[in-house]
Amino acid sequence: MLRTARMAASANAEGSLLPIDTILVGDCIKHMNALPAGSVDLVFADPPYNLQLDQGLTRPDQSRVDGVDDAWDKFDSFAHYDIFTRAWLKAARRILKPDGAIWVIGSYHNIFRVGAALQDLDYWLLNDVIWRKANPMPNFRGTRFTNAHETLIWAAKDRDSRVTFNYEQMKQANDDVQMRSDWLFPICTGAERLKDDDDEKLHPTQKPEALLYRVISATTKPGDVVLDPFFGTGTTGAVAKKLGRHFIGIEREDTYIAGALKRIASIRPLSAATIETAVPKRSAPRVAFGSLVEMGLITPGTELYDDRQRWSALVRADGSLVSGDHMGSIHRVGALVQGAEACNGWTFWHARQGSRLAPIDDFRSQVRAQMERLSA
């Protein structure tokens, strides 16, 4: 019998078969195998690291470093670790939707085995992402470089998956340049770090919420289901709830579950308005150039130019263009005059507006705004 620790405050209103907003108690492979196939949007996993710290590490002042030596982090060999890794990755892949994706975080002790396993199991790697720690633990012995980062792998269920990636959102958050594969965050300390009754850290490797915030907001939509098979103290659940996503956590240790339940219960979801994001151009309603002509925003007979006025074309009544011998759609004629394979006519062609040239895309924006107003 598989145990469940349900969040009182988040009963599953949709009546889905999925144990939404719930922590499942026990082995993650068994629990995942009991879930319906193709039902989860994203898996985020922070598996045990197979750290081989067989002797204690001491700081220069002889104080002990509290290394990761819990029983769950011991594996006899790489072979055992590989068997474990492939088993849970396979179970995770089964429950992912066809367009689902997975994130796995690790360090050099385990991430190479995880990455190879992902490839062997026909996941399709999308990015490896570096979490650069603003405040890593120094290398006390001075024998290596400060181990100042961890690696995340983002992979699709398979090569054909069309995964969620909120590109525009990431770009806007990053001062209007593409978000890179190296992310800078402090490690989890202070008030965010969960403590036990003795004021010791409750979990040895609690991840910062900022890291999950970026993962979840970049690669899920509001309402999506995120499953974390190594839930620990529930950072994934806390951030999912905050961002209006659902979570499923799986965890074996009762002390972690107790901490996670309390933590998540105290989270207040952000309002729908703040979570809502701009509609990317890709999914904006389609507006044909011909309708601009029909609506009178562009008059037949108007001359269009590229931004440097190397080429021009005439707008015909049916919304097609003519330029010399070339005729066709705005895209086709734009490509033909340049001798290019393809062309986005919306940004290539411009119309005179007073003394300056305005891209015809501006007219389309007007139409779209008008349509939004009318439908609202």
- Kindly determine how many residues on this chain lie close enough to bind DNA according to the rule CB under 7 A: 83
Considering CB distances under 5 to 8 angstroms, the limit depending on partner class, which of its own copies, DNA, none binds residue 120? its own copies
Q: Which is nearer to DNA, 62 or 271 (CB)?
A: 62
- Which of 14, 15, 77, 178 is close enough to bind DNA by CB under 7 A? 178
If one asks whether residue 151 binds its own copies (CB under 8 A), the answer comes out as: yes
Q: Which of 225, 177, 233 is nearest to 209 (CA)?
A: 233
If one asks whether residue 169 binds its own copies (CB under 8 A), the answer comes out as: yes
Q: List Cα–Cα distances, 223 to 45, 98, 159, 233, 376, in angstroms.
A: 19, 17, 24, 22, 23
Q: How, if at all, do strands 326-328 and 182-185 pair?
A: unpaired
Q: Which of 107, 116, 103, 98 is nearest to 228 (CA)?
A: 103
Span from 17-25, 32-40, 92-100, 160-168 in contact with its own copies (CB under 8 A): 160-168
If one asks whether residue 281 binds DNA (CB under 7 A), the answer comes out as: yes
Restricted to residues 288-347, the positions that interact with DNA (CB under 7 A) are 288-289, 329-332, 342-347
Span from 65-73, 194-202, 281-289, 349-357 in contact with its own copies (CB under 8 A): 281-289
Q: Cα–Cα distance between 228 and 42 in angstroms, integer? A: 9
Q: Which is nearer to DNA, 143 or 355 (CB)?
A: 143
Contact map string, positions 82 to 121, toward DNA, x by CB under 7 A: -------------------------xxx---------x--
Q: List Cα–Cα distances, 376 to 19, 359, 370, 372, 373, in angstroms.
A: 35, 27, 10, 6, 5
Q: At its nearest, how many Å lie between DNA and the CB of residue 271? A: 25
Q: Which of 36, 11, 13 is nearest to 21 (CA)?
A: 11
Considering CB distances under 5 to 8 angstroms, the limit depending on partner class, which of its own copies, DNA, none binds residue 190? DNA
Q: At its nearest, how many Å lie between its own copies and the CB of residue 162? A: 9
If one asks whether residue 366 binds DNA (CB under 7 A), the answer comes out as: no
Measured in whole angstroms, the distance separating CA 102 from the mean position of its chain's CA atoms is: 9
Span from 17-25, 29-37, 56-64, 270-278 in contact with DNA (CB under 7 A): 56-64
If one asks whether residue 77 binds DNA (CB under 7 A), the answer comes out as: no
CB 100 within 8 A of CB 164: no
Q: What does the DSSP 8-state code read for residue 177?
A: S
- Which of 126, 258, 267, 284 is close enough to bind its own copies by CB under 8 A? 126
Restricted to residues 227-256, the positions that interact with its own copies (CB under 8 A) are 243
If one asks whether residue 204 binds its own copies (CB under 8 A), the answer comes out as: no
If one asks whether residue 212 binds DNA (CB under 7 A), the answer comes out as: no
Q: What does the DSSP 8-state code read for residue 62?
A: S
> Which residues neighbour 336 within 8 Å (Cβ) at sequence distance 6 or greater?
323, 326, 328
Q: Which of 17, 70, 50 is nearest to 248 (CA)?
A: 17
Considering CB distances under 5 to 8 angstroms, the limit depending on partner class, which of DNA, its own copies, none binds residue 86? none
Contact map string, positions 90 to 109, toward its own copies, x by CB under 8 A: -----------------xxx
Does an H or E element contain 127, and which? strand 124-133
Structure tokens of 262? 């309390």
Restricted to residues 45-74, the positions that interact with its own copies (CB under 8 A) are 58, 62
Q: At its nearest, how many Å lie between its own copies and the CB of residue 357? A: 15
Q: List Cα–Cα distances, 269 to 10, 162, 228, 238, 241, in angstroms.
A: 11, 28, 19, 9, 6
Q: At its nearest, how many Å lie between its own copies and the CB of residue 8? A: 25
Q: Which of 205, 212, 199, 278 is nearest to 239 (CA)?
A: 212
Q: At its nearest, how many Å lie between DNA and the CB of residue 80? A: 13
Q: Which of 47, 151, 127, 152 is nearest to 91 (CA)?
A: 47
Span from 85-93, 131-139, 212-220, 252-260 in contact with DNA (CB under 7 A): 131-139
Span from 12-20, 28-36, 88-96, 169-177 in contact with its own copies (CB under 8 A): 169-177
Q: At its nearest, how many Å lie between DNA and the CB of residue 6? A: 26
